[in-house]
Amino acid sequence: MAFQKPPGTQDILPGTTEKWQFVEEKARDICRRFNFREIRTPMFEATELFQRGVGETTDIVEKEMYTFTDRGNRSLTLRPEGTAGVMRAYVENKLYGEPDVSKLYYVGPMFRYERQQAGRYRQFHQFGIEALGSDSPALDAEVIALAYTFYNEVGLKGVRVEINSVGTSAIRAQFRDKLLAFLLPKRELLCKDCQSRMERNPLRVLDCKTDQHHFEGAPSILDSLDEECRIHFEQVQSNLQAMNIPFTINPKLVRGLDYYTHTAFEFKAEGIGSIDTIGGGGRFNGLIEEIGGPSQPGVGLAIGLERTVMLLAGQEAELEKRSRIDIYLVALGEQAEQRISGLLYELRLRGISAERDYLGRKMKAQMKSADRLQARFTAILGDDELDRGEIALKNMANGEQRTVALSQLADELIQSLKGDV
RNA sequence: GCGGAUAUGACUUAGUAGGUUAAAGUGCUAGACUGUGACUCUUGAAACACGGGUUCGAAUCCCGUUAUUCGCCCCA
């Protein structure tokens, strides 16, 4: 009986890893330009950190965590999201003591025990950023701009930006009461899901897909904002406009984690089954205090990398370039094979991607291999060439072949690679 | 947690009242071309997810398991 990977996990194989590398390199490059610096935190943390940070009543904490007890009897949990761990590190390492705003990013796997479907896995990867220590709306906008740039440069088409303000927790509580007052008389009319949502998270009811007409005249959170919240939200918008980032306001946008305040936003795109959110985030001004740190504001977001990779298109040329090799060395006979080892190493030291045959195959099979690897050149070494101290260098694209001195192979190849695009 | 669908060589599929040796394309192997990949022709290897049941006979029908997939909930 062969082993199988656990449900909801995946093997990312050569051919697909190139896409991942492309996406991750883009993420890092954009973070460099925006001056976000990488932070790496543990893959698991104390369970309580997520209970406090993500929120006791969220689905994530209630039914989706991979929680286990270690040999020291500690309750630990595989991180279901990245923010809580980063906040913990920020507090534990006293990064708030530094003079500047902490602008951090991370890339890595997250774990949630959910049923798999298109674009949803139990182990999935997020690219996330957090800007801590300032409540400037310019930073909210910058975080949105960074994600927008990322999607753009990675080549995704039709990504929509939706923003909302969810106010402070006091305003949300007030709004919840107002909303419930509106909903309760209609309770029997609402779908089953909405009825249960009314108890769990009334703000989500407005997002219902089946019975939208019941919600005409429903109160909007935007009308419940106080002066401070409204100004913040307006400034986020004007900052986005200053950067020419297109966005729409969606007053029904609510996010699944408890910690958001003020700005909440999502990035949406079509093409992954019934899922349309490919990234999201918001401001979380109470979170750091909640997990035992100083009162410091923050804003951040997380981008689903599986979903990004799934939507990648139009990057074939770039990706193909990554998987090609420069040269394949064909050796005929034992003597030639030994000579090839030295040559191969020399080429590799000089920055050339080079490969050879390890299965003792005939020339024809070696040539096929070179073709499969999309080698730009092959070099053929047989008895004749060996005797003369030469090697045949062949351009695989046009079939041209010439003989060069063994000692000159690397130089000749580097010259040829320059001319050959 | 709930519901639907699916499972045939490495890959994509055919297999339609249960009935010989399970078919094809791609890929792989070897050859035509004894030192040259791609195109063409030929050769060979390679599969009914697993376990039960019905039947003279099961890839095909039934049940279970596992996995995959899609949707709900929720989320990236």
The CA–C1' separation of A77 and B5, in angstroms, is: 34
A192 touches strand B (CB under 7 A): no
Is A83 labeled as ligand-binding? yes
pLDDT of residue A186: 80
Residue A421: predicted pLDDT = 56
Among the listed residues A301, A307, A219, A315, the one whose alpha carbon sits nearest the alpha carbon of residue A271: A307
The whole-number pLDDT of residue A153 equals 94
Q: How are strands ordered across the β-sheet holding A327-331?
A: A354-356, A327-331, A377-381, A390-395, A401-405
Kindly determine whether the C-beta of residue A109 is less than 7 Å away from any atom of nucleic acid strand B. Answer: no
Nucleotide nearest to A395 (CA to C1'): B37
Predicted local distance difference test score (pLDDT) of residue A277: 93
Say how many Å lie between the first and final Cα of chain A, rounded: 48
> Which DSSP state fits A188?
G
Nearest to A309 by CA among A117, A105, A81, A23: A23
Given a cut of 50, the residues of chain A with pLDDT beneath it are: none
ipTM, two decimals: 0.86
Cα–Cα distance list, A47 to A42, A53, A83, A257, A397 (Å): 13, 10, 14, 16, 57
A123 touches strand B (CB under 7 A): no
> Is A57 assigned to a binding site?
no
The response to whether A112 counts as a known ligand-binding position is: yes
Domain with CATH 3.30.930.10 in chain A: 17-167+225-316
Give Dmax (Cα) for chain A.
96
Is residue A343 a contact partner of residue A379, using CB atoms and an 8 Å limit? yes
Residue A268 neighbours by CB distance under 10 Å = 17
For the domain made up of A17-167+225-316, give the CATH fold: BirA Bifunctional Protein; domain 2 (3.30.930)
Distances (CA, A) of A302 to A46, A60, A252, A410: 21, 15, 20, 45
Topology of the domain comprising A324-419? Rossmann fold (3.40.50)
Torsion angle, alpha carbons of A373, A20, A159, A140, to 10: -150
Q: Is the CB of A363 under 7 A from strand B?
A: yes
Residue A372 assigned ligand-binding role: no
Residues in chain A: 421
Q: CA–C1' span, A11 to B28, in Å?
A: 23
CA dist A414 and A418 (Å) reads 6
Stretch(es) of chain A classified as CATH 3.40.50.800: 324-419
A396: which nucleotide lies closest, measuring CA to C1'?
B37
What's this model's pTM, rounded to 2 decimal places?
0.91
**A332 is near strand B: CB distance < 7 Å:** yes
CB of A120 lies under 7 Å from some atom of strand B? yes
The strand B neighbours among A residues 268-297, by Cβ under 7 Å, are: 273-280
Q: Using a 7 Å cut-off to protein CB atoms, list the covered nucleotides of chain B.
A: 1-3, 27-31, 35-38, 66-76
Q: In what order do the strands lie in the sheet with A102-111?
A: A37-38, A102-111, A123-132, A298-304, A275-283, A261-272, A160-165, A248-249
